[in-house]
Amino acid sequence: MPTAEAAAPVVPPLSILTESEREIAENVHQFAAETIGPRSLAMDLANRMDPELVRQFFELDLMGIEIPEEFGGLGQNFTTSIAVIEALARVDAACAVCVDVQNTLVDNAVLRWASPELKAKYLPQLAKQKVGAYALSEAESGSDAFALKTRAEKKGDRWVLNGGKLWITNGLEAELFLVFANVDFAKGYKGITAFVVESGWKGFTKGKKEDKLGIRASSTLALAFEDLEVPEENVLGKVGEGYKIAIETLNEGRIGIGAQMLGVARAALDYSAKYVQTRVQFGKPISEFQAIQHELARMDMELECARLAVYNAARLKEAGRPFAREGAIAKLKASEVAEYCTSKGLELLGGYGYVREYPLEKMYRDAKIGKIYEGTSYMQLSTIAKDVLKRNA
């Protein structure tokens, strides 16, 4: 049985990454194969991330990739974050999610929107010791993100939050949360405001951890706020700007989801390609049958298209150019390709693909979430369609 560790390093084409970005991705993949790989299945079965791995993510500066060195971060660019996420997902999608949310959502939002004082206080913590989480979704606020009911009321020099959140990734490990609440429901979405919240404050409660189909080691849970007092200086950006912060950070986060799905798809393709060269039927390896070769070729083609979409969106973001459409395409295409490659890979393994002894079963489960979180595929299609109609009005 071939091993995931034996697969070639996950490195996009030379035209996509610089030498520095490529080197970092290679080193992260090597770390993941050696350190995460042997624990991946056990974490999946236990429905829990190994705390030692989270500690190592901080030691390797993987939790503060874009945070400037003056705040303890790695001081790299957005594309480096994307390459790291892909490299981790090649070995374990749940670990990639942990690093992805920290970098593309939490770190990114604080870097872009926080006051100098908030940056000085929280960026060193996010870079070196504290996991962050992004708390937007609610029971009635999913795709309709701005239908949230969590309320924030001003009392003196503090805001008092009441309400709750659902589906919060990194919720178990996180100590810092970006929480979105409405300060004036009469203003609709223009009342939404973002707050930096510490989980240790009175009135902050973590709910049960969800028992999920895939990315099981990644924690997902509910939050509750009861008269939670937040200092006025912990408003992220300006009061009423929360909707803008949410839209823009999620646009960036979708590129991260695309990178996750690239890693899962590449792992499925590489494992399948090795397996079919060892599986003998009718007196020869099944890799010699044209039908099998064509399946691998189509998987590789689809993966390459998805990779180009993801890194194109990353470069546009980096250059300060509009990328909402390209980010939607990246997430949509990569999530579809991940589902396709893991499904085909599982079929190529036959009965072995359906059991946990072989990794395709886990990859197949991990891939499904790509079409759901940080904006469903339907929402990505709507974003793309709006752009098409606008261009042709």
Q: Does the annotation count 374 as an active-site position? A: yes
Q: What's the rounded Cα separation, in Å, for the pair 248 and 241? A: 11
| Set 66, 336, 361, 374: catalytic member | 374
Phi and psi dihedrals of 226, rounded to 5? -130, 105
Q: What's the rounded Cα separation, in Å, for the pair 70 and 73? A: 7
Do the beta carbons of residue 109 and residue 236 sit within 8 Å? yes
Give the residue numbers annotated as catalytic, written as ranges.
Answer: 374
